[in-house]
Structure 1
Amino acid sequence: MKVGVDYYPEHWDVAMWEQDARQMREAGIKIVRLAEFAWSRLEPTEGQFDFDWLDRAIAVLSGQGLEVVLGTPTATPPVWLTTDYPDVLPVDNKGHTHYAGVRLHRCYNSPSLRKYGARIIEKLTQHYGSNPAVIGWQTDNELAANDCHCENCTRKFRSWLQEKYKTLPELNREWGTVVWSGEYSDWAQVKTPLGGSPFLNPSFLLDFRRFSSDTVADFNRFQAALLRENSPGKFVTHNLWGYPVSADYYDMFDSMDFASVDYYPATDLLDDSKSRMYHGALTLDLTRGVKQKNFWVMEQLSGTPGCWYPMSRTPFPGMIRAYAWQSVSRGADTIVQFRWRSARIGAEQFWHGLLDHHGEPGRRYKEFVQFSEEVNRLAPLLEGTTLDNDVAMLFSHEQLNAFQIQPQADGFDYLTNFKSLHTGLMSMGVSTDVLNWRSDFQGYKLVIAPMLYLINDEIADKLREYVSNGGKLVLTTRTGVKNMNNVCLPNRLPNLLTELAGVYVDEYDPVGKDTQKILLQNDQAYSCSQWCDVLTPVTAETIATYESEYFADRAAITRNVVCAGSVYYIGTILDADANRALLRRIASEAGIDFQLNVPEGVEVTTRSTEGRSLRFILNLSKDSKVLSIPKGDYVSAISGDRLQGGIIELQPGEVEILVQGTEEGYSKLWQSRN
């Protein structure tokens, strides 16, 4: 377990490097990421390479005992490259070139990008592959599908479709191009979705997103192969940007040793438009699920964000430390803060780092140093621990993309609704693995598979097997609507899962923001919105009924017993209170331990290994919170005090880590405290 910083020595006077490196070491920093945007300094003109400055920077850092992660610089092609080889630049759906000057201005299918990208990566790996200070590599930066419509992408997309569908008649049939006279009679007619209309054929649009995602994954594999060839034995990772993005992270990371994420929890009010971009704990659980193992945070919030929008709020006292521990609590083994110094030049001058523009340590820096000291002290205790959860939620980039292509109702959003279920589990103290929906989930006590809008026999069979073996499954509205080519299926919803769910959808009402009422079996009334499936149970029992409008008294939520398992079908989008009430019932049936009424803003998670477990209790809010902990023999990893459970009070931003274990496990604690 280590802490680090992102550093840009090329932005600062050489005379400052020694001071920075020394101060980093004194702050407990072990790792520094470098060079991911430095192509123009590494290759100032075509074929002329200059590594002297980076050699010196690495020597200064390693002289203070700091390890280095190098980034490949392909996210920012230099001006000479985009000027002399314009095919590097992507083209939008109106035929306009994306010009250089920001970043990520590159087409993954550009022959020139591949040629000169390979050359700079080969030069870097040949030069630094055996450098003992360089421990690993980060590919590019925040890869995402860039919706390119250049000639190279058009040709590649056409080939991708030919590989998938073989013949034009098959493509026409699977896409349903007969609608609006869209049938193709020659492969040369098939282009990328030009014009940007959201009303183009939805099968066409989904396949283009898949193609774009496959292109990103191939670009990452291309880099990984080069890195491993010349730098064997050193890790390769990538820093994903938080959700939602159109590229499929599960494919993108198949060539990586582990996942990394850039994590900027919202500093603004919860209803602020910027804060809705960030998904907090869900982002971290999604990242852990990408490779189904612990991960790194390659960029962690250090100060006020600001560049792509007006500046956000300054992190409140305790926030930097608390959210860094949140990342650790959900599986991060290394936390790298963005950035060491706030930039004085360029577009990100107001995306603040640990040190403000004046360079003098302040409140945020001191808070980071506290976190760093704690991590370094507790590293023996954290070593080898990970999360071992009984609940899995199945996430799908394909569903996300399909819902974005054809919005279902006013306010209906795949990721937001996914997050509401995830939040409901967190409010009970239940930690969750978020998995690729195609992964093996058979070993979990409870599986939540929300909004399986696209479905095929493969996933339907896996769900049947899981339930038949005693699993508890939760399905939701908008399940079984379409096949994998984004074409509506012909039978009653939920189609391939109707028999498993023991219920069918008689009709549905996209109620949007018109709030409706439901009544759970305990006669408690709750609210719902967005969508209402009017259900007809066949073998299922009714768990909740609607209590409003023309579908009053009709089934809204059902439960079906299948062999040793059971299936819940939630036919609407429940409010937070209803989610908690229903999930408590389901968790209890599944035999999952949960703690009722975790206060809003508080998170409880557990990392464990043989001999010890660490329960993280984090107050991520600006208010004091009170929480009841089950009785037990605990030792605080923070203070060293012994506790027996019961009521604990957490101040704003306060962190508690309670250790339970065998005597051998406790010895790790005493080792960390000495």
Structure 2
Amino acid sequence: MRMGMDYYPEHWDRSMWEEDAKLMQDTGVSLIRVAEFAWSRLEPTEGNYDFEWLDDAIDTFARHGIKVVIGTPTCTPPNWLVKKYPDVLPIDAQLHPHYPGVRGHRCFNSPSMRHYSFLIVEKLALHYKDHSAVIGWQIDNEFGLHECNCEHCNTKFRDWLKDKYSSVENINAAWGNVVWSGEYSEWSEITTPLGGNRAKNPSYLLDYKRFETDSVVEFQQLQLDILKKHCPNHFVTHNIWSYPMSLDYYKLGEKLDFVSLDYYPSTSPEKDVTSGYSGALTLDLTRGIKRQNFWIMETISGPPGCWMPMWRTPYPGFIRAYSWQCIARGADTIVHFRWRSAPSGGEQFWHGLIDHSNVPGRRYEEYRGLCDEVNRLAPLLEGTQVKGKVAILHSHDQYNAFQGQLQSDGMDYFENIKTLHRAFTKLGIMTDVLSENEDLTGYKLIVAPSLFLLDTALASKFDEYVKNGATLVVLPRTGVKNPNNVCWIQPLPGPLSESAGVTVAEYDPIGKDKNSINWNNKSYSCSQWCDILTPQGAEPVARYEDDFYAGKIAATVHTVDKGKVYYLGTFPEESFYSDFFKDVADTLGLTYIPNLPEGVQVSIRSNGEKQYMFLLNLSRKQQTIQLEQSYYSVLNNKDIAQELNMNPYDVEIVELL
């Protein structure tokens, strides 16, 4: 477990490197990430490589015991490359180039981009493969989908479709191209989606998103193969950029040693509490990509500002508390962005730990204390992991399908996951947020938010989990389509109807309007969507209270062998989920904390023998937590009482006996 800093030696006069390295060592920093945007310095002109400056920088930090992660610089093709080989630039849906000047101006399928990326990465790998201070690599920076429409992407898209469908006739059938005379007669008629109109055939658009993901993965694999060949003792990772995201992070992370996350919790007072819950979901999602611990490769050091007006400065304790939140949910290394605010360029006001004044201040002192804590507790936490009690399912395919066809005003796939996850977090129930394709054996409770795309094979897997004792909770808009994004011609929830023991007689896309349901003799508001249900073996557990379907069934439960399937036909307010999941937890023997204060989060890391519970007050209010018993704080080396008073952004870590 390490504390690290993102550092850009090329931004600073060489005379500052030694001073920075010494201060980092004194602070407790043991790692830096370098060079991910430095291609023009590493290869100033075609074929002329200059690594001497980076050698000097790495050696300077190595003398102070600081290890190095090198970022491959392929996110920022230099101007000589763009000018000489303009095919490196991605082309948007209106056929306009993504011009250089910011970053990310590269087409993943460009032959020139791939060729020169191969060369620079191989040169770096060969040069640093035996350097004792270099321990790993970050490929590129914050991959996303450019949705390029250049000639190379058109050719590659057709090849991708040929591999998947074999013939134009199969594509016409799979996509339902008979609608609007969309049938193809030859491969050359198929192009990437030009024009940017989201009303195009949804099957076509979803496959294009999948192709785009595969293009990113292929570009990453090109670099991964080089690094693994020449640097077999180094790790290789990539720093993903938050959620929601069209790029399929599960595919992206498959071949990496571990995943890294760039995490910037909001400093706004208006998001004082919600930011911590959204962040908890992001961290759980990141841990779920490879079902293992991860790194934070960037996180907040000061007020961000570049792509938007500057945020508020981090409140006292904010940097420390959110760093501990990352560790509490599975991060093994925390790298802050950045050491010092940049004097020039677009991110001048995305503040570092030290301001342009170059005088360490309050934020630096808070960070120094954080380093002391993390470095002191690292031996205890080494080898510990986070294991959730509940599985919440997530899918980039589902997200993309919903984004392509909005179902009702205000209905949002990812926001609904946030609400579900927040309910569990407020109960102190740790969740694993996993791909729907993962093996979910062993989870007593599985929550499936809107399996819009669903085939019989996946439905059969869920059926087996339930038969073997799992409780499955299903939400509206499940089983609507097959994986080709074509609607099933059968009652909803499609392939899950038999397991759920219910069908949808009619639905009402109520959007931002309100209805209410009655569950356990208590009324809860609901919105977005209302399925009117007809039991086919299931038992009613909730009914609507308003509109023309007042009294009709809103939710059911169906017992299947050893397990149960709950079908919730609407999206209730958060308080319903809290009450409902407490009831389910009681039935399943899952423990929870019934009165956890707003903004306070609890999580556990364990190595099988020792367990450490993290208590975090991610709010600006003083909060009081009622614990089951008194504990010993390994953070503060003292006993803490059952009634624990926590100041704003306070942290406690206790050992569970």
Question: Which TM class, normalised by the smaller chain length?
Answer: over 0.9
Look up the match of 2:157: 157
Distance 1:203 1:225, change over 3 A: same
Look up the match of 1:22: 22
Separation in structure 2 between the aligned mates of residue 268 and residue 176 of structure 1, nearest angstrom: 47
Separation in structure 2 between the aligned mates of residue 283 and residue 193 of structure 1, nearest angstrom: 30
Separation in structure 2 between the aligned mates of residue 168 and residue 606 of structure 1, nearest angstrom: 52
Conserved 8 A contact 1:149-1:192: yes
Look up the match of 2:42: 42
Look up the match of 2:430: 431
Conserved 8 A contact 1:270-1:276: no
2:625 aligned with 1:627: yes
- Correspondent of 1:540 among 519, 538, 541: 538
Aligned-pair CA distance for 1:40: 0.2
Look up the match of 1:669: none
Distance 1:270 1:532, change over 3 A: farther
Separation in structure 2 between the aligned mates of residue 83 and residue 428 of structure 1, nearest angstrom: 56
Separation in structure 2 between the aligned mates of residue 79 and residue 40 of structure 1, nearest angstrom: 8
Stretches (4+) displaced over 4 A = 269-272, 275-278
Count, aligned residues: 656
Look up the match of 1:574: 572
Which amino acid counterpart does residue 122 of structure 1 have in structure 2?
Answer: E
Separation in structure 2 between the aligned mates of residue 252 and residue 388 of structure 1, nearest angstrom: 22
- Correspondent of 1:650 among 646, 649, 655: 646
Aligned-pair CA distance for 1:554: 1.1
Look up the match of 1:204: 204
CA RMSD of aligned residues (A): 1.3
Separation in structure 2 between the aligned mates of residue 603 and residue 482 of structure 1, nearest angstrom: 37
Conserved 8 A contact 1:39-1:78: yes
Look up the match of 1:137: 137
Which amino acid counterpart does residue 656 of structure 2 have in structure 1?
Answer: Q
2:350 aligned with 1:351: yes
Which amino acid counterpart does residue 620 of structure 1 have in structure 2?
Answer: L
Tell me the SS of whatever aligns to 1:559. strand
Separation in structure 1 between the aligned mates of residue 423 and residue 377 of structure 2, nearest angstrom: 30
Conserved 8 A contact 2:277-2:425: no
2:182 aligned with 1:186: no
Aligned-pair CA distance for 1:278: 9.5
Aligned-pair CA distance for 1:248: 0.4
Tell me the SS of whatever aligns to 2:606. strand
Distance 1:178 1:584, change over 3 A: same
Structure-2-length-normalised TM-score: 0.98
Distance 1:276 1:200, change over 3 A: farther
Which amino acid counterpart does residue 571 of structure 2 have in structure 1?
Answer: I
Identity %: 52
Look up the match of 2:503: 504
Which amino acid counterpart does residue 646 of structure 1 have in structure 2?
Answer: Q
Separation in structure 2 between the aligned mates of residue 638 and residue 232 of structure 1, nearest angstrom: 37
Look up the match of 1:413: 412
Look up the match of 2:97: 97
Conserved 8 A contact 1:265-1:278: no
Tell me the SS of whatever aligns to 1:121. helix
Aligned-pair CA distance for 1:641: 1.3
Which amino acid counterpart does residue 660 of structure 1 have in structure 2?
Answer: L
Which amino acid counterpart does residue 586 of structure 2 have in structure 1?
Answer: S
Q: Deviations over 1:391-429 (max 9, x none)?
A: 111111000000000011111111100110000001110
Aligned-pair CA distance for 1:560: 0.8
Look up the match of 1:637: 634
Conserved 8 A contact 2:428-2:603: yes
Aligned-pair CA distance for 1:458: 1.7
Look up the match of 1:664: none
Separation in structure 1 between the aligned mates of residue 276 and residue 145 of structure 2, nearest angstrom: 18
What pairs up with 1:421-500 in 2 under 5 angstroms? Answer: 421-500=420-499
Conserved 8 A contact 1:218-1:252: no
What pairs up with 1:323-362 in 2 under 5 angstroms? Answer: 323-362=322-361
Conserved 8 A contact 2:276-2:618: no
Look up the match of 1:604: 602
Aligned-pair CA distance for 1:570: 1.1
Which amino acid counterpart does residue 629 of structure 2 have in structure 1?
Answer: K
Look up the match of 2:55: 55
Separation in structure 2 between the aligned mates of residue 450 and residue 631 of structure 1, nearest angstrom: 36
2:241 aligned with 1:253: no
Which amino acid counterpart does residue 551 of structure 2 have in structure 1?
Answer: D
Q: Deviations over 1:526-580 (max 9, x none)?
A: 1111111111122111121111111111111211111010011111111111111
Q: Deviations over 1:442-462 (max 9, x none)?
A: 111111111100001221111
Which amino acid counterpart does residue 403 of structure 2 have in structure 1?
Answer: Q
Look up the match of 2:321: 322
Name whichever of 294-303 and 634-643 sits farther off.
Answer: 634-643
Look up the match of 2:216: 216
Q: Deviations over 1:497-520 (max 9, x none)?
A: 011011111111111110111111
Which amino acid counterpart does residue 391 of structure 1 have in structure 2?
Answer: V
Conserved 8 A contact 1:605-1:617: yes
Separation in structure 2 between the aligned mates of residue 85 and residue 548 of structure 1, nearest angstrom: 63
Conserved 8 A contact 1:70-1:134: yes
Tell me the SS of whatever aligns to 1:68. strand
Look up the match of 1:394: 393
Distance 1:299 1:271, change over 3 A: closer
Look up the match of 1:670: none
Name whichever of 540-549 and 7-16 sits farther off.
Answer: 540-549
Separation in structure 2 between the aligned mates of residue 518 and residue 384 of structure 1, nearest angstrom: 46
Aligned-pair CA distance for 1:271: 6.1
- Unpaired runs of at least 5, structure 1: 662-674
Which amino acid counterpart does residue 428 of structure 2 have in structure 1?
Answer: G
Conserved 8 A contact 1:602-1:619: yes
2:121 aligned with 1:112: no
Separation in structure 1 between the aligned mates of residue 197 and residue 269 of structure 2, nearest angstrom: 34
2:1 aligned with 1:13: no
Name whichever of 368-377 and 261-270 sits farther off.
Answer: 261-270
Which amino acid counterpart does residue 614 of structure 2 have in structure 1?
Answer: F
Structure-1-length-normalised TM-score: 0.96
Conserved 8 A contact 2:276-2:599: no
Which amino acid counterpart does residue 659 of structure 1 have in structure 2?
Answer: E
Look up the match of 1:378: 377
Which amino acid counterpart does residue 450 of structure 1 have in structure 2?
Answer: P
Which amino acid counterpart does residue 309 of structure 1 have in structure 2?
Answer: M
- Correspondent of 2:527 among 526, 529, 542: 529
Conserved 8 A contact 1:144-1:247: yes
Look up the match of 1:666: none
Separation in structure 2 between the aligned mates of residue 287 and residue 199 of structure 1, nearest angstrom: 32
Which amino acid counterpart does residue 378 of structure 1 have in structure 2?
Answer: L
Q: Deviations over 1:200-256 (max 9, x none)?
A: 000010000000011111111111101111111110000000011211001011120
Separation in structure 2 between the aligned mates of residue 230 and residue 200 of structure 1, nearest angstrom: 45
Look up the match of 1:305: 304
Conserved 8 A contact 2:602-2:616: yes
2:549 aligned with 1:551: yes
